[in-house]
């Protein structure tokens, strides 16, 4: 089933490349941030959406347009950019650590990190595990014990299929209590927004997702975040949530977030965007917006970021091999 879904995503991506793109597209000749477009490779409401919205705050009067291009957990947007929209000087695409993991596992086809131009990392997020407020599970240990004893009865909402970062988080935690990752009942969605919708509707009993997404839902008191996968407790709405390490699980999961561009964008236009984000991220206004969007400090651009991405993809490939996701 995993391979069929991946193949279907790539087939859809190929078909999309041959068709006109419905999303509004600014002229390639327009290179100013005010005429820009940020593509969200997922449905509204998740971490990718937050990334584009944060990038939008860096442009004057917030004129950066946001469009959604879900499918294949990022594969559709990736294929569209490297094939059909590869030279657009003002089109950015949101990415996360999950995108890099999918790239490492071959879920974007025969692609490499060098197939796009990495512009900026604008913040970092962390993994988290949540349940509904009325769930019987009060901490991460109780949830994992329940999954171990009755895996078929606990559906776990995740952005992506088996092998995705949300799945891998649970697999790593489960391994520490003797859970076979193949027995976990994963329900795949196109992004964290759908996962939380399913949780609130009681279609799944837990969500493996991101802290920034959980922060949006924690404010209304309808969910209980059991653990954050960070080195220390996080500031903000989740400040009272213990880390997985505090509960006996040695697992952390930082999630870089940022934007990339097509491979044939000129060096001049690429550097304009690199400079744009370098300058924007050095302002108190951006720092405040990053906090509002639930992200934490991590600023990197251009060549430094590209080198970081290459290393990250290699590290993700090693992690995926541990669970048999790549050979």
User: What CATH number corresponds to the domain at position 11?
Assistant: 3.40.190.150
Give the confidence band of 61 by pLDDT, cuts at 50, 70, 90.
low
Q: Residue 213: what pLDDT?
A: 86
- The mean-pLDDT minimum among 10-14, 123-127, 226-230, 290-294 falls in 10-14
Residues in contact with 327: Cβ distance below 8 Å, sequence separation at least 6, in sequence order:
321
Give the pLDDT confidence of 173-184 residue by residue, as tens digits. 999 999 999 899
In this structure, the answer to whether residues 285 and 211 fall within a common structural domain is: no
d(CA 242, CA 236): 13
Identify whether 159 is part of a domain: yes
Percent of the chain scoring above 90 in pLDDT: 70
Of 204, 229, 247, the one marking the end of a domain is: 247
- The answer to whether 55 and 28 have CB atoms below 8 angstroms apart is no
Residues 105 and 148 in one domain: no
User: Same structural domain for residues 96 and 147?
Assistant: no
E-state strands within 17-151: 37-40, 65-68, 91-96, 117-132
Distance (Å, whole) CA 218 – CA 225: 8
CB 305 within 8 A of CB 259: no
What's the pLDDT tens digit per position in 94-116?
999 989 998 999 989 889 999 99
Compute the average pLDDT of residues 14-41: 52
Contacts of 301 (CB under 8 A, 6+ apart): 119, 120, 121, 274, 277, 278
- CA–CA gap between residue 117 and residue 123 (Å, rounded): 18
Residue 28: strand, helix, or coil = coil
Same domain for 130 and 217?
A: yes
- pLDDT tens readout for residues 278-317: 999 999 999 999 998 889 999 999 999 999 999 999 998 9
For 176-225, how does the pLDDT look when each residue is reduced to its tens digit (9 = 90+)? Answer: 999 999 899 999 987 788 899 999 999 999 999 999 889 888 888 899 99
- The parent domain of residue 313 ranges over 2-123+254-322
Final residue belonging to a domain, choices 224, 247, 270: 247
CATH code of residue 239: 3.40.190.10
CA 39, CA 41: separation in Å to the nearest integer? Answer: 6
Q: How far apart are CA 259 and CA 275, in angstroms?
A: 14
State whether 157 and 237 are in the same domain: yes
Q: Give me the pLDDT at residue 321, please.
A: 86
Nearest to 309 by CA among 57, 114, 124: 114
Is the pLDDT at 142 greater than 80? The verdict is yes
Q: Is the pLDDT of residue 27 over 90?
A: no
H or E stretch covering 11: helix 2-17
DSSP structural state of residue 188: E
In angstroms, the Cα distances linking 96 to 62, 90, 120, 290, 312 are 22, 20, 11, 15, 11
Q: Is residue 327 part of a domain?
A: no
Q: What confidence score (pLDDT) does residue 20 get?
A: 35
Q: What is the pLDDT of residue 236?
A: 87
Q: Structural domain tally of the chain? A: 2
Taking each helix axis as running N to C, give the angle between helix 75-83 and helix 2-17, from 0 to 180 degrees, rounded to the nearest 10: 30
Which residue, 247, 280, 312, sits at the end of a domain? 247
Q: Which residues pair with 132 in a beta bridge?
A: 223
Mean pLDDT score across all residues of the chain:
87
């Amino acid at each position: 089933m995993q391979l069929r879904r991946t193949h279907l995503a790539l087939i859809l991506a190929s078909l999309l490349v041959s068709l006109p793109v419905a999303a509004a597209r600014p002229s390639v000749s327009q290179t100013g941030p005010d005429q820009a477009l940020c593509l969200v490779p997922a449905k509204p409401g998740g971490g990718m959406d937050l990334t584009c919205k944060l990038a939008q705050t860096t442009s004057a009067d917030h004129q950066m347009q946001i469009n959604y291009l879900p499918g294949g957990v990022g594969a559709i947007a990736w294929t569209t950019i490297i094939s059909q929209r590869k030279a657009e000087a003002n089109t950015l695409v949101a990415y996360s650590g999950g995108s890099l993991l999918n790239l490492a596992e071959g879920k974007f086809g025969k692609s490499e990190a060098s197939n796009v131009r990495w512009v900026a990392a604008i913040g970092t997020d962390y993994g988290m595990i949540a349940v509904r407020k009325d769930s019987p599970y009060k901490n991460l240990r109780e949830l994992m014990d329940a999954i171990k004893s009755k895996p078929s009865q606990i559906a776990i909402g995740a952005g992506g299929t088996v092998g995705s970062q949300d799945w891998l988080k649970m697999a790593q935690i489960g391994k520490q209590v003797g859970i076979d990752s193949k027995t976990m009942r994963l329900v795949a969605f196109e992004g964290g927004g759908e996962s939380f919708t399913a949780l609130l509707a009681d279609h799944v009993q837990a969500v493996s997702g991101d802290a920034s997404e959980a922060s949006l839902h924690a404010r209304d008191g309808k969910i209980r975040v059991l653990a954050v996968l960070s080195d220390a407790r996080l500031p903000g709405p989740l400040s009272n949530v213990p880390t997985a390490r505090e509960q006996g699980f040695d697992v952390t999961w930082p999630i870089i977030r940022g934007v990339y561009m097509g491979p044939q964008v000129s060096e001049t236009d690429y550097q304009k965007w690199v400079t744009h984000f370098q300058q924007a991220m050095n302002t108190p206004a951006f720092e405040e917006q990053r906090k509002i969007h639930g992200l934490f400090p991590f600023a990197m651009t251009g060549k430094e970021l590209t080198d970081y991405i290459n290393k990250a993809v290699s590290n993700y490939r090693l992690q995926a091999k541990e669970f048999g996701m790549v050979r």
